[in-house]
């Protein structure tokens, strides 16, 4: 029972992170109809910017007292800002000129951007190729225990922040003018531009929002797992990002609520697979789910099938 609850809890926590990253994939796909392969690297950038910014401010180093919680929030917001700027630049330079190009070309560009971010980050003047520890920005105390399952402060931070961000996004998309513009562009960029919507602006905005969510996920990942494993700037992130992408596809790509649902689903499947079937096949569970979903319900759980016009 304890194991079951623990697994459920871990799955939900990781699922929240996946959901945050999946939102970025799904928003970009919804509007531009392509997989932003570099999204996972923005997530990694979020982790690294958090480390760097905390270092600049001078908080969270090993052995020092834990800084107040609002410093952590500050680090997160700064990291989100930097990543948003990077997302904006990438869209402007690499993706915008390819508007209307075949999808495969855009995908190859995205792979190029991904490789660039990975290897640029590993230069010794940027983040370096060696692992670094994530600063301690939150206390490690246990808030309460339930049936043998510990509920830590970091878990509360992850779930709380994730839910808050998702609620904010929900508000943005369905309650604001910009959100209406985003939905219009997603439906038909051409018609949206005929209605006087600045499509380029909306796409840039979507990119920035998506990358900022990924950066927040990166920060939360660091807070949750930073103490256990040192962080490197290499391709391991691609795998995490890909799982988030799988989450977006499973939920129904282009569908914001689907991304959240898919993220939770993938988190749970992964953790239950690890707990009950063995950890060495961790990555295989997720991709097996992807292949099954694509074969039997290609539009995802919440997606709609589309008909190609001849």
Partner 1 sequence: MPTLIEQARSNKPAAASILPRAIWPLLVGLAIGALMFYVIGPGMGDYPSKIVLIAGINIILAVSLTVVNGFTGQFSMGHAGFMAVGGYVAATITYYGSMKLFGSADPAGGVLSFTGGADKPTALARWGDALFIGSCLMGGVGAAIAGYIVGLPSLRLRGDYLAIVTLGFGEIVRVLLQGTHEQIQPWRVEDALAKPVYELAISLGGPKGFQLLPTYTTLFWVYLFVVVTLIICYRVKNSSTGRAFLSIREDEIAAQAMGVDITKYKVRAFVLAAFFAGVAGGLYAMDIGAINAGDLGFLKSFDIIIMVVLGGMGSISGAALAAIILTILPELLRNPPPVWPVGLVLIALIAGVSSYRKRFRWKPIIVIAIASTLLEVGRQIALSKGINVADFRLILYALLLITMMLVRPQGIFGIHEIWEILPGYARREAARNGARGGSQGGKP
Q: Whose structure tokens read 């993706």?
A: 95
Closest CA to 124 of 40, 235, 237, 233: 233
277 binds partner 1 (CB under 8 A): no
CB closer to partner 1 out of 60 and 303:
303
Count of residues that bind partner 1 according to CB under 8 A:
46
DSSP annotation of 94: I
State in angstroms the smallest separation of the CB of 200 from partner 1.
17
126 binds partner 1 (CB under 8 A): no
CB closer to partner 1 out of 115 and 178:
115
State in angstroms the smallest separation of the CB of 269 from partner 1.
14
Structure tokens at 126: 């940027």
Q: How far apart are CA 241 and CA 250, in angstroms?
A: 14
For residue 255, CA distances in Å to 198, 212, 258 come to: 22, 18, 5
For residue 175, CA distances in Å to 167, 172, 183, 246, 303 come to: 11, 6, 11, 28, 22
113 binds partner 1 (CB under 8 A): yes
Structure tokens at 234: 């290499």
* 308 phi, psi to nearest 5 deg: -80, 135
CB closer to partner 1 out of 27 and 173:
27
State in angstroms the smallest separation of the CB of 159 from partner 1.
28
Which of 2, 105, 142, 198 contacts partner 1 by CB under 8 A?
A: 105
Which of 20, 23, 28, 34 contacts partner 1 by CB under 8 A?
A: 34
Binding residues among 205-264 for partner 1 as defined by CB under 8 A: 235, 238-239, 242, 245-246, 249
**Alpha helix segments (H runs only) across 33-133:** 39-57, 69-90, 103-121
Q: How far apart are the first and last CA of the chain?
A: 55
CA 96, distance to chain mean position in Å, is 22
State in angstroms the smallest separation of the CB of 105 from partner 1.
5
Binding residues among 135-164 for partner 1 as defined by CB under 8 A: none
Which of 6, 55, 81, 116 contacts partner 1 by CB under 8 A?
A: 116
Binding residues among 289-308 for partner 1 as defined by CB under 8 A: 290-291, 294-295, 298, 308
List, in sequence order, every residue forming a beta bridge with 144; answer none if it has no partner. Answer: 151
CB closer to partner 1 out of 158 and 249:
249
CB closer to partner 1 out of 123 and 201:
123
State in angstroms the smallest separation of the CB of 168 from partner 1.
28
Binding residues among 62-81 for partner 1 as defined by CB under 8 A: none
274 binds partner 1 (CB under 8 A): no
Structure tokens at 185: 């562009």
Structure tokens at 214: 């990924």
List, in sequence order, every residue forming a beta bridge with 145; answer none if it has no partner. Answer: 150
Q: How far apart are CA 210 and CA 46, in angstroms?
A: 12
State in angstroms the smallest separation of the CB of 286 from partner 1.
8
Catalog residues that contact partner 1 under the rule CB under 8 A: 34-35, 94, 97-98, 101-109, 111-116, 118-120, 123, 235, 238-239, 242, 245-246, 249, 278, 280-284, 287-288, 290-291, 294-295, 298, 308, 310
């Amino acid at each position: 029972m304890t194991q079951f609850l623990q697994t459920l809890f871990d799955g939900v926590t990781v699922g929240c992170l996946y959901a945050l990253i999946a939102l970025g994939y799904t928003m970009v796909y919804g509007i531009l109809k392509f997989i932003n392969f570099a999204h996972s690297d923005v997530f990694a950038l979020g982790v690294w910017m958090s480390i760097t910014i905390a270092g600049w401010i001078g908080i969270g180093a090993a052995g020092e007292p834990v800084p107040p919680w609002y410093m952590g929030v500050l680090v997160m917001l700064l990291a989100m800002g930097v990543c948003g700027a990077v997302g904006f630049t990438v869209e402007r330079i690499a993706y915008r000129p390819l508007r209307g190009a075949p999808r495969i070309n855009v995908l190859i560009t995205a792979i190029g951007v991904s490789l660039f971010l990975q290897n640029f980050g590993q230069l010794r003047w940027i983040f370096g190729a060696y692992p670094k520890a994530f600063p301690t920005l939150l206390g490690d105390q246990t808030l309460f225990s339930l049936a043998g399952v510990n509920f830590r402060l970091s878990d509360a931070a992850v779930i709380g922040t994730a839910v808050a961000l998702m609620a904010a996004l929900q508000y943005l998309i369905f309650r604001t003018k910009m959100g209406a513009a985003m939905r219009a562009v997603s439906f038909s960029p051409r018609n949206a531009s005929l209605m006087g919507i600045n499509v380029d602006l909306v796409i840039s905005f979507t990119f920035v929002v998506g990358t900022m969510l990924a950066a927040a996920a990166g920060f939360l990942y660091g807070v949750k797992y930073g103490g256990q494993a040192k962080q490197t700037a290499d391709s391991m992130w691609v795998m995490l990002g890909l799982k988030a992408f799988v989450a977006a596809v499973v939920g129904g790509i282009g569908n914001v609520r689907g991304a959240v649902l898919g993220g939770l689903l993938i988190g749970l499947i992964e953790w239950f697979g690890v707990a009950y079937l063995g950890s060495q096949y961790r990555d295989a569970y997720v991709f097996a789910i992807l292949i099954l979903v694509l074969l039997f319900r290609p539009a995802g759980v919440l997606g709609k099938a589309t008909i190609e016009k001849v």
